[in-house]
Amino acid sequence: MRYVSTRGQTEPMAFKDAVITGMAPDGGLLIPETLPELGGRLDEFRGLSFVRFAEKLMAYFVDDIPEGTLNGLVERAYATFDHPEVVPFRALRGLAGNHDVQVMELFHGPTLAFKDVALQFLGQLFEYILEERDEHLNILGATSGDTGSAAIAGVRGLPSVDVFIMFPEGRVSPLQERQMTTIPDENVHCLAVEGSFDDCQSLMKSLFADADAKRTLALGAVNSVNWARVLAQIVYYGYGSLKFARSEPVTFCVPTGNFGNVFAGYLAKKMGFPIDKLVIATNDNDILARFFQTGEYRRGTVHHTTSPAMDIQVASNFERYLYYYFDEDAVRLRTFMEEFAATGAASVGGPPQTDDFLATSVSEAEVRRTIRDVYEHNGYVVDPHTAVGLAAAERFRVPGVQICAATAHPAKFPESVNEAIGRKVARHPTLDALADLPTRKTRIPATTEAVRAFLDKHAR
Ligand SMILES: *Cc1c(COP(=O)(O)O)cnc(C)c1O
């Protein structure tokens, strides 16, 4: 299987190169040259454990790693999860206009958020490929709090990788900071930048734009557009659909920010898994919901909500979907993206012609109400991101089973959850244990020179 760019101006490349490259050199995103058609072979997948399912599915996309080796990487990636099923399900009763919803718990990885599903696998892939090539990578990232710990957990302790995560000093929650700074592995470097998250992002940009720094420091990123992340996410859509589809296919409801998670569901559907609709659930940052209602993709201003991992205005994975929407026409896609980059808006000329998606945005008041209602009626505690999904699920009546992705454990967002329920119910032993661990971080001024000097000293 080879990978091509959505912008059509990159030579096709093998899987391992796609993983290491991340973003296509022409500015586009990498996608498989053809999608495997699995509709006629679903029996091969039925009844498999999550890990076996993942191994079997990934083999269709990875032809440059021997099967036994790939299986080893998958097994190691998911051995870090704290539930024997890796991704378990939980039924909620009487939720959506009295129909039942299955919650797909994606938060059993080491940092208790769904990004672990992809980043634990990506870390294993990086180590395997770099070791084979006798190379070392210094990963540089910036976080406002949510995603840094999952990136760190994905690569901690790996010999071929160092990871440098910048975050704004004093502006991430104490819990999120401890999730990063308590990791003792020597290849993990937490940089508390004396500035804002925007400063951290500008520092990232200037270092990556500096060809000398990028080369001499062998800089890399684990951004949300890496193809391997999408691939790891396709697995649970296929797995969940076969578990719950009966005569009717299932519908997935997905709390969405960068469109990475729900896009994987779209590919699972395209490949032939029994999936009816994909419900795009956004918070007040509703650029995607507006697109699916009007056909216009228009940048707005970021609203800060209780589901911060979805507080985005531009969905970095959306380009992959548009590519398929434009029938794989890279020229049309390029025109659309260039117009969007230049003017902050572009349109497909009316509501999109698609049966695949439903989209809606959920207010903060509804998030609170949903957290409280789910707790009252089911004794189950959900985090604000998952609550966005469940509130959206209530709005649509669909014939088959509705499955809602739970993207974070509620204990990651204790203030909002406890406040909505009125009791201290959001706890997790892993997070409680962080309070007693030693922490490590380096304070650093928000200048390119300071960060460059730190990298020169510590990068390997
Ligand atoms: C990243 C994240 C999301 C959004 O996922 P996308 O792939 O960006 O749509 C939702 N919930 C949580 C908890 C996340 O960390």
Domains with residue ranges and CATH for the chain = 85-114+227-428 (3.40.50.1100)
Residue 400 has pLDDT above 80, yes or no: yes
Q: What average pLDDT does this structure show over 182-186?
A: 98
* Mean pLDDT for all residues in the chain: 95
Residue 96 has pLDDT above 70, yes or no: no
pLDDT of residue 261: 96
pLDDT above 70: percentage of residues in the chain: 99
Report which protein residue has its CA nearest ligand 1's atom 11: 407
Q: Who's near 67: CB < 8 A, 6+ residues apart?
A: 59
Ligand 1 neighbourhood includes 118 CB (under 6 angstroms): no
**Residue at token pair 């509130």:** 391
How do residues 271-303 score in pLDDT, each as one tens digit? 999 999 999 999 999 999 999 999 999 998 889
- The answer, yes or no, to whether any atom of ligand 1 lies below 6 A from the CB of 255, is yes
The total number of residues shown for the chain amounts to 460
What is the pLDDT averaged over residues 4-31?
A: 94
A 10 A CB-CB count for 82 gives 13
Q: Could you tell me if 6 and 109 are in contact, meaning their C-beta atoms sit under 8 angstroms apart?
A: no
| Ligand 1 atom nearest to 312, measured from its CA | 8
> Looking at residue 230, what is its pLDDT?
97
Q: What values do phi and psi take at 450, rounded to 5? A: -65, -45
116 lines ligand 1 (CB under 6 A): no
CA–centroid distance, residue 309 to ligand 1 (Å): 5
pTM for the complete prediction? 0.96
Q: Say yes or no to pLDDT of 55 above 60.
A: yes
Asked whether 288 and 266 are in contact (CB, 8 A), the reply is: no
Compute the average pLDDT of residues 216-245. Answer: 93
Average pLDDT over residues 397-419: 95
Please state the atom number of ligand 1 nearest to the C-alpha of residue 260: 7
Pocket flag, ligand 1, residue 148 (CB < 6 Å): no
Q: Which residue from 104, 108, 115, 252 has its CB within 8 A of the most atoms of ligand 1, so it is best to mutate?
A: 115
Output the CA 431–ligand 1 centroid distance in Å: 20
Q: What is the pLDDT of residues 330-384, one digit of tens each?
A: 999 999 999 999 999 999 999 999 999 999 999 999 999 999 999 999 999 999 9
Q: How does residue 321 score in pLDDT terms, banded at 50, 70 and 90?
A: very high
- How far apart are the CA of 178 and the centre of ligand 1, in A? 20
312: pLDDT confidence band, cut at 50, 70 and 90?
A: confident
Indicate if ligand 1 lies below 6 Å from the C-beta of 112.
Answer: no
CA of 310 to the centre of ligand 1 (A): 6
Ligand 1 center to residue 83 CA distance, Å?
A: 20
What are the residues whose beta carbons fall under 8 Å from the beta carbon of 43, sequence distance 6 or more?
A: none
pLDDT at 97 (0 to 100): 60
**Proportion of the chain above pLDDT 90, given as a percent:** 88
Cα-to-chain-centroid distance, residue 107: 12
Cβ of 319 less than 6 Å from ligand 1 = no
Is any ligand 1 atom within 6 A of the Cβ of residue 229?
Answer: no
Ligand 1 touching residue 115 (CB < 6 A): yes
How far is residue 419 from each of residues 309, 369, 386, 422, measured CA to CA in Å?
19, 11, 16, 5
Counting atoms of ligand 1 from 1, which one is nearest the CA of 316? 8
Q: Is the CB of 151 under 6 A from ligand 1?
A: no
182: nearest Cα among 99, 106, 110: 110
Ligand 1: distance of its center to the CA of 256 in Å?
6
| Overall average pLDDT of the 126-131 stretch | 97
pLDDT at 277: 97
Q: Known catalytic residues?
A: 115
214 or 54: which leads in pLDDT = 54
Mean pLDDT of 415-434: 96
pLDDT score at 278? 98
Quick check: 420 pLDDT over 80? yes
* Beta-strand pair 161-168/137-142: parallel
| Category of 168 on φ-ψ map: left (φ > 0), alpha (ψ -120 to 50) or beta | beta
Whether residue 155 contacts residue 76, with contact meaning beta carbons closer than 8 Å, is answered with: no
**Can you tell me the mean pLDDT for 404-433?**
96
Could you tell me whether strands 30-32 and 2-5 are parallel, antiparallel, or unpaired per DSSP bridges?
Answer: antiparallel
Render pLDDT for 233-284 as a digit per residue (tens, 0 to 9): 999 999 999 999 999 999 999 999 989 999 999 999 999 999 999 999 999 9
